[in-house]
Every structure is written in C-alpha cells, then in structure tokens.
Amino acid sequence: MRRAGDRTSKPTPATRTEGGTRVHGFLVGQAETLLAEVLEFKGPADATTSRFFREHPKLGHAERGVIAEAVFAVLRRRNEFSHLAESGSGSPARRLILLGLMQTIGRKALVPLVSPAEAEWLERIAKIDPASLPARARTNLPEWIEKRLAARFEPEALAQLAAALNYSAPLDLRANTIKATREQVLDSLEAAGIEAGETPLAPNGVRVAGKPPVNRLNAFEEGWFEVQDEGSQLLCHLVGAKRGEMIVDFCAGAGGKTLALGAMMRSTGRLYAFDVSDRRLAKLKPRMAKSGLSNVHPVLIDSEHDPKIKRLAGKIDRVLVDAPCSGLGTLRRNPDLKWRQTPASLDELTPKQASILANAARLVKPGGRLVYATCSILEAENEAIVNAFLATHGDFKLVPASSVLAAQKIGLDTGDYLSLWPHIHGTDGFFAAVLERVKAPAKGAKAEEAAEADDVEIEELPDSVVPDPEDDETDVD
C-alpha cells in the first residue's frame, strides 16, 4: 500500500526584490500587518487573509504561503506565543509574528529579516523548554473550552488532543467513484510528482503529503476527486446511501458530503441538497456538474420550518443532518474559531441544532435512517442534543455507529456514536449518531395476528411515524 510521506523540508524564506535590491523585512512587515487585522476577529481568518492578499497583489506565491502559515501558527499557539512575547521589544503583533515565522521557516532563515536585537531575542526563546511553560500556555485553548474537555479527558489525553490541534491538518481527497477508482487517483497524483497514499479507514480516501496545489491537476478538473477530510468521508458511510433511494442532505452547504452520497447512490434515485444559503448552493452546482452526478437536486429553504420540507414528510429513506456548529473539531484548519467562539455563542447554537434535528426527523419514513452530525468536540452540541431528541421522540432508536461501519467492512469501533479525534484518528474532530425510525405496526387483523404471535401488546405510535398522505408529489425544486 502506498503511504503518504511526512513533509520534512521547510519553505525557504521569502523576500521581495525591487530593481535588483533585496528588501529586508518586507515579508515580516506584511505578515505583522495581516496578523494585526486577523486578531481583531471581525471575521473568519481565512477570509481576512484572502482579502489581504487580493489587496496586495505584488506579494508572490511563496511569500503568501509563508505569511499565511505564520499567521495561522500564531492562532494555533496564541497562548504559548503570548506568554513568550511578554519579553522582547516592538509591538505585540510584531513579537507574535516573529514567533510564528520562526516556527514556519526556522530561526536561521528568519535572522536575516530582523534586527540584531530581535535575532538575539529569538535565540533566547529557542532555548526555552516548552514543558517549562504554564499549563494554559501549553494547551493553547481558551479556559472555557479547556474546562469542558477536561470533564471528559484525563490530563494526559487532554494534553495529547491539545497538541494535535496545534498542527495543520493533512490534505485528504475522496476518489469520485463515478469517474475513477482510488488507484487511478493515486496513479494520477504520482504522474504529477505528488506523493500520496491510502487513508487508513475511508475506503475511497487518499492522503497527500504536504499541501501541493491539487486543484490545478487535470484529474481534479475532470472530477476524479474532491478534497474531503477522512472523517467527513466516514460520516457519509454512516448514512449508507443506496441505489434508487430518496435521500436528503439537510444542511448541504457547498455540497461536499452531498457529492459523496450521490456517488454511493451511483447517480440513481433522488438526492435533495437543502440549505438556507443561496451562495453556498451556488458553489455546489459547478462541483455537481464536474462530478458526473445527475441525481442531485439543490433546494433553497428559508429555515428548518420551510413548507417545502413538509411535502416530503415521512417519504425519505435517509436524512443527513450535518448541523451548524461551533466548528471546534476543525481547529487544525480554522484555529481562529477557538478565539472567536464563546459560551454565549454556544448557547445560541444548541437550541438551533435541536430544532433542525427535530424538523429533519419528520422527513424520515418508518424504517428509515437519520444521521445527526457535527464537526464539534463539545458534548453540549453532540451527545446532549441526541439524548434530548431521543427522550422526546419515542419513534426513533439509536443504532450503534460501530455496527453500521462494520456492515460496510470499515474497521472502526468508537462505540454507539462515531467520535473522531485528531490525536487518536488523525482526522478532524467529528461526532455522529445514527437514528432509525421505528416501523409502524401493521393495522387491522394482521396487526392483531402479529401481536398475538409475538405475545406483545400493541401500543399506538405517535402520528409522526405515519407518512404524510397529503401529497405524493416529491419534486420540490
């Protein structure tokens, strides 16, 4: 089996030349400016970074890569760097970005770009043993997040999780089996000089060494693969989409999971992609065209209460609810989230998650499957939501996630729920629960005969298990 190798080389220091003269400190100054903007937390760090680069078109590709990596290194290790930056001189943003650059390109490469005093300071910092730092500096987590995680992890495990979140995520791809096998995708990457291998668990996953521009490859343009974290791919396998079924991706976004489900269905049946954002659904359409799928139907809804949803009540085989969440499972990719999210924002999210799950459940037909998922690592968004739902929806039962994956020959056992962790599984942090709607008993004499044979008492099930007879029309485009 081919394996993705570890990236051991560091990018060389990027500088700018004007009229043949090397401009010292240009890269550091630009990185400092960007970091100061990002730390205002007026929006997502990746969006702020993209806008900054658009406004500074003279920055080269190599320079942009180094600057972005340095800024995100500061976001990942903000507590640690802030503690170290209590010494030194210059603005706080200047000291922080120097630490980010030192991690990104190395101290020796950075020295020519800074003053002698700064070079001396960096040398002193490099000699500090990280283990000697305060615990809060080592975990690099806000206190409120650390407390919630400490309630479910022993100190050693929590330290391992925190350490894993301080590094960038690997680049994972999903082979689009409508157009190519995983082996063909690996061959195309090898032909392009890109080192890659199979993901450990996802059967169609590919893990790439480093961060090469795979979106420029012909194989990508031809729809052979999509960029998708292995954890997200495993989540789609929990849905277990089959040919000819009716399936709803309730919070489809730009459609990464939608496309994976469509491929599992072999472009048969009907797959609805619901979302409240027209902009996100617009991003799905070109990806859908490239994928070769013809069974996907994007549907713009105004909320989880949209009348379009009611028309499908009780008719859907499988529903995926990838609920809007804090995103704290994606901190390797979006480290700014741990500084932008607050307990108050979490309190606003959880009622919305419960409402979305309850309304999506109405779509599921008796015997059908409902999968609730988040990319969060907090119990309040995960187990607590599912337990509250089951307490008020007696027509649903929990199906162990491990058994669902085992049926698909995926050797992963995390118990009743799919619980993925960066320090254990090498994926983003994911949670998912598989819920099955209890089949309504037969009516009349057959029901009585069945009850007598099983020696059980028939209980009237809630109306919600009965398909809505109002309208057989299922096209809500």
Residues making up the binding site? 275, 302, 322
At 110, list the tokens. 């950075």
CB 211 within 8 A of CB 11: no
Q: Strand, coil or helix: what is 128?
A: coil
Q: What is the DSSP string of 340-391?
A: H--HHHHHHHHHHHHHHHHHHHTTEEEEEEEEEEES---GGGTHHHHHHHHH
Sign of CA dihedral 25, 26, 28, 32: positive
Catalytic residue among 236, 251, 325, 375: 375
- Backbone torsions φ then ψ of 240, nearest 5 degrees: 65, 40
β-strand 270-275 against 246-249: which pairing, if any? parallel
- H helical segments located in 1-91: 26-38, 45-55, 61-76, 78-84
Rounded distance between C-alpha atoms, residue 378 and residue 444, angstroms:
46
CA distance to 129, 191, 241, 371, 388, per residue, from 366 (Å): 59, 49, 16, 15, 20
In the block, residue with structure tokens 């979006």: 334
Rounded distance between C-alpha atoms, residue 417 and residue 437, angstroms:
17
375 is catalytic: yes
Rounded distance between C-alpha atoms, residue 210 and residue 171, angstroms:
7
Long-range interactions of 350-354: CB distance < 8 A, separation 24+: 350/380, 350/381, 350/384, 350/385, 352/323, 352/324, 353/323, 353/324, 353/325, 353/381, 353/385, 354/385, 354/388, 354/389
CB 178 within 8 A of CB 263: yes
CA distance to 27, 186, 216, 250, 394, per residue, from 359 (Å): 51, 41, 40, 10, 15
Residue 55 exposed, middle or buried by CB count within 10 Å (0-12, 13-18, 19+): exposed
In the block, residue with structure tokens 């409402």: 355
Q: Strand, coil or helix: what is 465?
A: helix
How far, in whole angstroms, is CA 105 from its chain's centroid? 27
Residues making up the binding site for S-adenosyl-L-methionine? 275, 302, 322
CB 197 within 8 A of CB 186: yes
Task: Enumerate the active-site residues.
Answer: 375
